[in-house]
Structure 1
């Protein structure tokens, strides 16, 4: 008995194949825009420019980190800072009036701007030189200081938000992968390669979707979300 020739895309009318190609291009464009949207959506959650892993971890797990200034002061830097001045700086950084009290004249010599000017600017200016200087961490102006003054407290999205997003994304993306897998089977591409690509994509989608929930308890799993996604 003569074996029936398997269905292939090239057996379809030309207009049909063009339509599939245009839809695939549209789908690719949609994924590119989705990537941009994700970058913009998660960007700057940690108040650092650009999309960082802290942004991703913060979205799914949450991030709590003291400000670099607090960490430096608590570690005893600078060494010659008096205890009253150190306590005044820590009290200011742990309060909720950072910008208002930075150069508050009512605080006199205990104003943070005054303490920083007398104790830090020998090393922390853009033109500082010497072994102990840190021109890469200037403390001359409030605009310099505010980026390292605030503690980070990024709260993750609520479970209802994650569920609402996933109930739309998981079925849709799985169906898209099934359709794309079926289309590649109907081409002349090597089936072993297309099968491997489909398997990797499906595994990545599963890891990505599961990672939304696992990362809530295990922050390090955010890396799997990024790789799977």
Structure 2
């Protein structure tokens, strides 16, 4: 079966799936920008530095300080932020936690609590907060393992289906094979670079290259497949 000559129900099915995947990928990129990039850009931090902060960490400050200067800082008033940072730099002791505890309860617990139901670390007790008052070493090994296996399984399934549709196109077989292989290569480069960036910040560039390659290859599969189903004319006519 070729995409151009497929029956109308099959074309509609493939089209709905490809458009949904394309929109979903754009939403994922937007979410990544809003959570990981945009908060840091307010401080003049570029995309590469934001990737370094995420995986390698800010090894001159604690994780909590780094977050207060980035994504969470806008939720606290300057005076509150100053009080929390002062508590951290004075040793982050439990004896002095009471004043800053109320700040976390008032400003952070809406999202950072077990009751919120959000996949964010709770910050309501001394034990929970003090875990983030250590030097920022980036994402933990446990976190990298968890996120890596989720992405490898999930994204591989997405490309299995988009590639399965694309291979029915009339693009030259060699180019079809290359465009089927590229997104999987991009997954390995992207996710593998997370681990390497934790050891060496220079690999932050590879993370970006892998992500860009993944997006472009997905777009190419979707656009070419839709073109052949709906726009390409029969050359024999």
Normalised to the residue count of structure 1, the TM-score between the two structures is 0.54
Matches within 5 A, 1:52-71: 52-64=47-59
Larger Rg: 1
Q: Is the 8 A contact 1:57 1:222 kept in 2?
A: yes
Matches within 5 A, 1:138-153: none
Q: Distance in 2 between matches of 1:198 and 1:30?
A: 20
SS of equivalent residue, structure 1 residue 215: helix
Find the counterpart in structure 2 of residue 204 from structure 1.
186
Find the counterpart in structure 2 of residue 114 from structure 1.
none
- Bigger proportion of residues as helix: 2
Q: Distance in 2 between matches of 1:154 and 1:211?
A: 19
Find the counterpart in structure 2 of residue 181 from structure 1.
163
Call closer, same or farther: CA 1:35–1:51 in 2, change over 3 Å: farther
Q: Is the 8 A contact 1:54 1:63 kept in 2?
A: no
Matches within 5 A, 1:78-93: none
Find the counterpart in structure 2 of residue 31 from structure 1.
25
Q: Distance in 1 between matches of 2:10 and 2:180?
A: 24
**Residue number among 11, 19, 27 corresponding to 1:17 in the alignment:** 11
Gaps of 5+ in 2: 62-78, 83-134, 212-237
Over aligned residues, Cα RMSD in angstroms? Answer: 2.8
* Corresponding residue pairs, total: 142
Gaps of 5+ in 1: 1-6, 67-96, 101-152
Residue by residue, what CA displacement relative to the aligned partner does 1:27-76 show, whole Å, maximum 9, x if unpaired?
0000001001111121234762565211111101113469xxxxxxxxxx
SS of equivalent residue, structure 2 residue 198: coil
**Residue number among 204, 208, 215 corresponding to 1:222 in the alignment:** 204
SS of equivalent residue, structure 2 residue 171: coil
